[in-house]
Amino acid sequence: MQLTLWTYEGPPHIGAMRIATAMKGLHYVLHAPQGDTYADLLFTMIERRDARPPVTYTTFQARDLGGDTAELFKSAARSAYERFQPQAMIVGASCTAELIQDDPGGLAAALNLPCPVVPLELPAYQRKENWGASETFYQLVRALCTPHVAVPAVPRERAAGQKARCNVLGPTALGFRHKDDLREVLELLRRLDVEINVVAPLDATPHDLTRLGEADFNVVMYPEVAMQAAQWLLRNFRQPVVKTVPIGVGATREFIKEVAALSGADPAPLLNDPRARSPWYSKSVDSTYLTGKRVFIFGDATHAIAAARIAAKELGFEVVGLGTYSREFARDVRDAAKLYGIEALITDDYLEVEDKVAELHPELVLGTQMERHIAKRLGVPCAVISAPMHVQDFPARHAPQMGFEGANVMFDAWVHPLMMGLEEHLLHMFRGDFEFHDGAAPSHLGSAASRPEPAAAPLQAEVALLEPETTAPAAGLPTPLTGLPLAWTADAEKELKKIPFFVRGKAKRNTEAYAGQRGVSSITVETLYDAKAHFSR
């Protein structure tokens, strides 16, 4: 174990709570001490739900440890069924209760409750939240679907003219934009004329899970939560799995093609959806400012891999760092990192992440709320792309990450911090300009509205190269060598490209004038900065 101030994931019983809270008609009896009831606040305060999670805690105290804590659990389980009358129950222990080894599964089985009871074995000291959600969903699917499995397993027969039918798996409570993503995915499936069989776990009942075998294929929105269950359904019901996660324009188009291949639909009408506005910007002249921006990405595996692809292939960024805290998907992230010529960072220690960000000097960080705080301390723009999150990541508006609308939302969230950085840079660059000082009147009102100009602020090195060109030799410089050929070194040209494109030409001309007056035939990075220093005098 490691003592830490922040953690990317909670213990696995929090993952089980996310499944229970997402579903209807399911109740979770958690053997836990009094202090573990804090988890309710994750849903009522952060996700802003209007009801408590469907969880009954045994809430044993220190004095109970000398008595019969097993009887305390049985009493809580019996009362929970009588009060809530669920279709099914799950039972388990929190990390603290795990130490007293009361065996909630065996105790619940001895009660002979009149509903299915699924025991959860969640090793709190070896696994974490996402694994707990995945294991809980898998155990529920296996327990409730096994009675409907045919031997040998055969795929569903679809009659001629019958619509293809699919399950949508993965969205949970307390998930990063899960409800908004689900809305986008369901709309894509509807437009492909695919019938929805079951969406789970979000808003599904235990009875709904018994019908999972009636679909032709499964769409896995979040592999961290649903891939294990989908693989079980593949083995037992021969249901293919749509593995493409539609985050980004390119991935959304691949998702459409993959679904169309399974359903027999025509994908063409959806592939160039006019609602996808980010591709237009990527082709515009304004996007050249963003080309080559250095970006560091960290989050759960699904969102980190998708973000890297969007950054590199759709926005022209340079991915300088990629990592995840999802150790179960470390291989996938390492394979993705190889595409960008970098080594993946696999860690759940936020201090390691902070050191890596400081080392790489990115111009944009895409991460979790942890990285947002890190980036703020380091003065780097940041956009949140993954859990863990805070209340601000549950906006009142529709803000998906998936589908074409999700690509639009991400474009705004990622690009605007960089554009604001450009705006601040320009305000700093031109703060001494006669049209931009505080006393300047609006230019469209003409000279009649002019106000007295304050004294011009001293120009800094950043704006020195933008001073008006002069044909006369500067004081203290030799006479220019006429006809002298000027060449820029590769490093100097690279440095020159860092200057915004709309003033780059003037900066280049002034640098060449300075070099010519000095008798320099090869312009290096040093020449560029010498020219800046000269014109700033």
Q: Which residue ranges make up the annotated binding site for substrate? A: 421-422
Cα–Cα distance, 39 to 368 (Å, whole number):
20
CA distance 499 to 289: 10
| The two structure tokens encoding residue 510 | 């002034």
Catalytic-residue membership of 286: yes
The shares of helix, strand and coil residues in the chain, as percent rounded to the nearest 5, are 50, 10, 40
Q: Are 536 and 467 in contact (CB under 8 A)?
A: no
Q: In whole angstroms, what is the distance from residue 73 CA to residue 56 CA?
A: 10
Query: 3-state DSSP call for residue 240?
Result: coil
> Are 318 and 296 in contact, with CB atoms under 8 Å apart?
no
Q: Which residues are annotated as a binding site for [4Fe-4S] cluster?
A: 36
3-state SS of 360-416? HCCCEEEECHHHHHHHHHHCCCEEECCCCCCHHHCCCCCCCCEHHHHHHHHHHHHHH
Given the residues 286, 335, 355, 491, select the one marked as catalytic: 286
**Residues 53, 21: contact at Cβ < 8 Å?**
yes
Distance between CA atoms of residues 536 and 460, nearest Å: 6
The pair of structure tokens assigned to 370 is 């942890």
Please state, in angstroms and rounded to a whole number, the distance separating the CA atoms of residues 499 and 490: 15
Taking the C-alpha atoms of residue 128 and residue 9, their distance in angstroms, rounded to an integer, is: 6
What's the angle, vertex CA 282, arms to CA 279 and CA 287, rounded to 5?
A: 155
Please provide residue 524's backbone torsions phi and psi, each rounded to the nearest 5 degrees. -110, 180
- Residue 434: Cβ within 10 Å count: 10
Phi and psi at 294, nearest 5°, equal -85, 125
Angstrom distance (rounded) from CA 257 to CA 273: 14
Rounded to whole angstroms, the Cα distance separating 389 from 372 reads 10
SS3 219: strand
Continuous segment of H or E residues that includes residue 81: helix 69-84
Of 529, 517, 461, 462, give the one whose Cα is nearest residue 489.
529
Q: Which residues sit opposite 42 in a β-bridge?
A: none
Q: Which two tokens stand for residue 524?
A: 């290096």
Judged on CB neighbours under 10 Å (0-12, 13-18, 19+), 349 is middle
Q: Tell me which DSSP letter residue 228 carries.
A: H
5, 67 contact by CB (below 8 A)? no
DSSP class of 280: H
Binding residues: 36, 421-422
Known catalytic residues are 286
